[in-house]
């Protein structure tokens, strides 16, 4: 067997040989990578450590709506920068990211080079975003643009948020593409469960210990998390190796960008099964992103002019409640992960969406104070955990592996195209009804819609072969073409 060896990870230059000819004990393979148990554990550790630091860093996005609110921005502006703007950036970037990384070949592989290149701009944009108020004050005292200091600071927050979203979208996409390149399918469910659990722990730490200090220590929080994140991803690039990939075909490699985009949209958006699959994410995120953006105002804004009185919880108390909603999913993540390796994630997705829908509608009826908010939010978070593990594992099972980045990015593009409007429309609705409690109805409606779509995907999947015989529709087309050529 020829190949490169990194510690206990062997990268073969041909298809992986039978396990008994590689090592006497248990091995795991993905592509040209073959792991021993110890080397697999090491890879999982560095992937999960990077996830922990990435997830805790990403929680600065929950501070952005507060930064805007402190400057007097409207709910529509908050909805734009709190959710819609990221969706707009994702719509424009995901096709490019998917195609670029699928086709890139270099000494570091096809995913890690992008991570290396994008770490510095993400760190810089985070530092600028955390220093927006300071920079706005300095500019306002030295130059006169006809704007108040609050308006200028709001503008700077918007500019720095755009920069952060652009660079961080690359990191998020590429990191998730890396899953199928370095994690064996036989442990993917367990990894996704651990991935979600680690993310939940990071959210708990942020909300329990940092969120309550967001107003008084904004800059320190941004800078500290930027440094933690950059160190973690440098270690990931160093410690986790990619295998070898077959070169992209000459036609694909030499194709012009516009032609590549045309083929991208044709391949990814002409198959009904994938359109239904993408719609699950559209409905879920249209429910969750506005909820995450506006629930803080339902809990804490008790004196907003013209609005129905909210719960009146302090920001520190709200952060502690939110912290518990982050830690409670951990046991669910750990239990559901192994079950997905045995049962199909689509079934888990349907169960999770049913629970999400029910808890949102019940919250609208029963949440009246801090205690009931905690109980129903914890319950909602538990069933959301069930959904999230199944949701991410679902793509590894249903999308074509040879074009995973392309089709995964198409899913991001699809739901983000719809999500561009969800937070802004939700903000407009809240301004009309002047009652932040209606966020529960908004989220419950879209969760119900997502449940209906997931059931439709399940029955379509069964027609495509189900548990034993499923082949991705794109591969079905290719296989049928190959059979026709052979018969001819």
Going by C-beta distance under 8 Å and a sequence separation of 6 or more, which residues neighbour residue 335?
A: 193
Q: What is the pLDDT of residue 480?
A: 45
CA nearest to 173, candidates 61, 242, 90, 49: 90
The pTM (predicted TM-score) of the whole model is 0.66
Interval 79-102: pLDDT, tens: 777 667 777 777 777 777 877 777
Domain total for the chain?
A: 1
Percent of the chain residues past pLDDT 70, beyond the cut: 87
Cα 395 to chain centroid, rounded: 13
What is the distance between the terminal CA atoms of the chain, rounded to a whole angstrom? 37
What DSSP element (H or E) covers 28?
Answer: strand 27-30
Q: What is the pLDDT of residue 305?
A: 65
Residue 39 predicted with pLDDT over 50: yes
What DSSP element (H or E) covers 36?
Answer: strand 33-36
Residue 317 predicted with pLDDT over 50: yes
- Distance from C-alpha of 355 to C-alpha of 30, rounded to nearest angstrom: 34
CA distances from residue 236 to 42, 81, 107, 122, 388 in whole angstroms, order as listed: 11, 30, 15, 16, 24
Q: What is the pLDDT of residue 185?
A: 79
Q: What is the pLDDT of residue 487?
A: 37
Q: What is the pLDDT of residue 466?
A: 82
288: left (phi over 0), alpha (psi -120 to 50) or beta: alpha
- Distance from C-alpha of 168 to C-alpha of 348, rounded to nearest angstrom: 29
Residue 118 predicted with pLDDT over 80: yes
**Domain at 272, CATH number:** 1.20.1250.20
Q: What is the pLDDT of residue 223?
A: 93
What value does the mean pLDDT of the chain take? Answer: 82
CA distances from residue 320 to 203, 314, 323 in whole angstroms, order as listed: 11, 10, 5
Q: What is the pLDDT of residue 287?
A: 93
Q: Which residue has the higher pLDDT, 337 or 243?
A: 243
CA nearest to 470, candidates 282, 338, 280, 277: 277
Counting beta carbons within 10 angstroms of the beta carbon of residue 479, is it exposed (0 to 12), middle (13 to 18) or buried (19 or more)? exposed
CA nearest to 126, candidates 175, 79, 168: 168
Binned at pLDDT 50, 70 and 90, residue 3 comes out as: very low
Domain region containing 381:
3-243+250-487
């Amino acid at each position: 067997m020829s190949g490169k060896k990194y510690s206990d990870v062997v990268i073969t230059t041909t298809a992986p040989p039978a396990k008994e000819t590689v090592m006497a004990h248990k091995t795991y393979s993905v592509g040209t990578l073959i792991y021993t148990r110890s080397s697999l554990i090491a890879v999982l550790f560095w992937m999960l450590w990077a996830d922990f630091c990435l997830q805790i860093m990403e929680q600065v996005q929950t501070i952005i709506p507060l930064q805007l609110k402190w400057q007097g921005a409207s709910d529509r502006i908050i909805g734009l920068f709190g959710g819609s703007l990221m969706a707009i950036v994702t719509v424009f970037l995901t096709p490019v990211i998917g195609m670029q990384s699928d086709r890139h070949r270099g000494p570091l592989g096809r995913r890690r080079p992008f991570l290396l290149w994008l770490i510095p701009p993400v760190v810089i944009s985070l530092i600028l975003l955390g220093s927006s108020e300071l920079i706005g004050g300095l500019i306002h005292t030295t130059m006169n643009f006809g704007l108040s200091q609050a308006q200028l600071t709001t503008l700077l927050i918007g500019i720095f948020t755009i920069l952060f979203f652009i660079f961080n979208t690359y990191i998020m996409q590429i990191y998730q593409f890396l899953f199928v390149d370095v994690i064996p399918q036989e442990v993917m469910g367990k990894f996704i469960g651990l991935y979600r659990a680690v993310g939940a722990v990071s959210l708990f730490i942020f909300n329990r210990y940092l969120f309550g200090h967001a107003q008084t220590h904004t800059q320190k929080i941004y800078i500290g998390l930027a440094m933690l994140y950059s160190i973690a991803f440098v270690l990931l690039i160093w410690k986790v190796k990619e295998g070898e990939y077959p070169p992209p075909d000459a036609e694909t490699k030499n194709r012009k960008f516009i032609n590549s985009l045309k083929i991208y949209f044709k391949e990814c958006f002409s198959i009904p099964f994938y359109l239904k699959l993408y719609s699950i994410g559209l409905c879920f995120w249209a429910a969750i992103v506005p909820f995450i953006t506006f629930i803080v105002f339902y809990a804490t804004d008790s004196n907003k002019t013209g609005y129905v009185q909210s719960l009146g919880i302090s920001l520190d108390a709200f952060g502690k409640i939110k912290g518990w909603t982050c830690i409670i999913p951990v046991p669910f993540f750990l239990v559901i992960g192994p079950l997905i390796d045995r049962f199909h994630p689509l079934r888990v997705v349907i169960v999770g969406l049913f629970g999400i829908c029910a808890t949102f509608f019940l919250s609208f009826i029963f949440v009246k104070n801090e205690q009931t908010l905690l109980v129903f939010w914890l319950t909602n978070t538990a069933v959301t955990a069930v959904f999230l593990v199944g949701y991410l594992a679902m793509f590894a099972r249903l999308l074509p592996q040879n074009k995973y980045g392309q089709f995964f990015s198409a899913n991001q593009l699809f739901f983000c195209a719809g999500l561009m409007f969800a937070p802004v429309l939700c903000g407009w609705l809240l301004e009309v009804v002047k009652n932040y409690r209606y966020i529960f109805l908004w989220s419950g409606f879209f969760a119900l819609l997502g449940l209906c779509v997931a059931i439709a995907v399940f029955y379509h999947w069964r027609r495509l072969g189900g548990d034993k015989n499923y082949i991705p529709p794109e591969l079905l087309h290719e296989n049928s073409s190959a059979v026709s050529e052979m018969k001819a």
